[in-house]
Structure 1
């Protein structure tokens, strides 16, 4: 390190602020990069957790390769995806510090990223789909108006997930203003779309009929929200599966409907790039990871081989 580099490093050390004192600016920086609010909250929470682990008054310069390695050792028992999320937050925060000239080095360049096990997609089985259809076709409550409204809202959410392949957060943030029933498409806005990329999704005829059951006077605000039009949280969408469907004897996750949608699109003849566009994936390899093996198609491919070669 030459004299000039030493001088700059000493200036940074002297002026190094407390990590917790920079979080408001960090959140604003993320917002300026069009990061979704939920991701902003998650990243800020993870950086705060790291600062608390470092100790009272932890400074930006206290974030070193050694301290990050020691922190990672304390969270090694967590799922690889959870560890990866925490490390991603720290890497993002360091980049913020570099942009704000709060430090001159990057201690996250050689992070030891956890290996994530590749799992097969889990679309609903035939018997699960039959059970789901049976639940959806049950009569709605009649006398209890609140229960009746919630029943139709929950049914609407399930069919949205099943027929559009939207993410939970995208269903939660979908507004009636972005649903075009006559033209049969909806728009996923950048505020809710992962990565901030807007896209158009065609609406299946069954879903159109379901959405048309909502009186025009009630089509304000969120499509699948509260009575006053406020949006549900993505966690509330998950609770519908954990409680409403579970109470009916069906234990499935909302994300499995996204896998089901992708698999059934391919089964119906859709091309991979079409499925990618519908699901909103930037990389087609991600889309491929959503589609379950189809033994019937694999069997027909093998059965088509000749009895003898040559």
Structure 2
């Protein structure tokens, strides 16, 4: 029986999941935690590996038995969706709940990346002699690369989204702290382009002020730190929220969290998504924008900055991209808009 995995940096449900893996695989997760990989990344790897090891268990296979054909069958097995188990605590007992998940294109890519990392680790640790993932990828037909143009809001749509917070709460006699919080959330995302994971991990001491100038310290991927200036609009929204932010009712474990949920604990990714979904509906945005996600507000800032003539390198620094090629995808958006504008001229002459 494998040992019990424990890390204070991870949620208990993730520790429970990792404890089910072979000891050598648990060591891989110890390496991830030591390398300061984000808890979300570690959790995603744990979910991906659960699918893989459940597949092996059903076929009475061990890691040493895995070859390129096994991997091919696994990826076909989850191609069109799969059941994912989630560990939840009920009356001090951990139980497993299952729910169905679609296997998106990005999800497929992540699962391949997860297993690629695992097998490379096992080779480096001399626990395996050959890399079946490498053999599988060498033999596989490469899917045609489809570079999607990022979905984003126009400036007018972004303004409508922010104003939707006020219209949604207009029936109430006075502003409550959650209305001010939601305005601050939207303006922070739209004016800094930070990732959702970066937003929810912000603490009160992430904010630095000098006179009327406010900056926010963001911890990005790989623990990389960047400092972003808040413009006047975002600053005023943040100060308004902090003025009414609850203090006495906050859980001791979450007292330092900048953004709180209705239960006075640190807000989650799902909480941010639900907030955005509510105001997208209130703003009655067009179909293209109606499915907007928190990450697409990041796309919105990048596109608006480049449309205004900002330097690509500067936008890269603001977004915290390690590779400028990631930032360059937004230039395709601008070029596409230019092409469409010129094409519309054919009806004018």
The two structures share one fold, judged by TM-score above 0.5: yes
Pair 120,108 (structure 1): closer, same or farther in 2 beyond 3 Å? same
**CA separation in 1, counterparts of 2:54 and 2:262?**
40
The reply to whether residue 132 of structure 1 matches residue 161 of structure 2 is yes
The residue that corresponds to 1:186 in the other structure is 216
**CA separation in 2, counterparts of 1:49 and 1:123?**
33
Aligned length: 281
Pair 153,114 (structure 1): closer, same or farther in 2 beyond 3 Å? farther
Choose 1 or 2 for highest CA Rg: 1
Q: Deviations over 1:103-148 (max 9, x none)?
A: 1211112424644421112221354234224314448568688x82
CA contact (8 A) 1:181 1:208 kept: no
Pair 269,297 (structure 1): closer, same or farther in 2 beyond 3 Å? same
Calculate the aligned-residue CA RMSD, in Å: 3.1
Pair 115,233 (structure 1): closer, same or farther in 2 beyond 3 Å? farther
Residue ranges of structure 1 left out of the alignment (5+ in a row):
1-17, 302-310
Pair 172,128 (structure 1): closer, same or farther in 2 beyond 3 Å? same
With structure 1 as the length reference, what TM-score do the two structures score? Answer: 0.79
**CA separation in 1, counterparts of 2:166 and 2:278?**
18
**CA separation in 2, counterparts of 1:36 and 1:80?**
22
Pair 232,216 (structure 1): closer, same or farther in 2 beyond 3 Å? closer
**CA separation in 1, counterparts of 2:21 and 2:245?**
47
CA contact (8 A) 2:160 2:283 kept: no
CA contact (8 A) 2:165 2:279 kept: no
Pair 134,90 (structure 1): closer, same or farther in 2 beyond 3 Å? same
Residue ranges of structure 2 left out of the alignment (5+ in a row):
1-18, 81-102, 248-254, 343-349
The reply to whether residue 167 of structure 1 matches residue 163 of structure 2 is no
What is the CA distance between 1:207 and its match in structure 2?
A: 0.8
With structure 2 as the length reference, what TM-score do the two structures score? Answer: 0.71
What is the CA distance between 1:255 and its match in structure 2?
A: 1.8
Structure with greater strand share of residues: 2
The residue that corresponds to 1:37 in the other structure is 39
The reply to whether residue 202 of structure 1 matches residue 202 of structure 2 is no
The reply to whether residue 243 of structure 1 matches residue 256 of structure 2 is no
The reply to whether residue 285 of structure 1 matches residue 313 of structure 2 is no
**CA separation in 2, counterparts of 1:135 and 1:217?**
21
CA contact (8 A) 2:162 2:187 kept: no
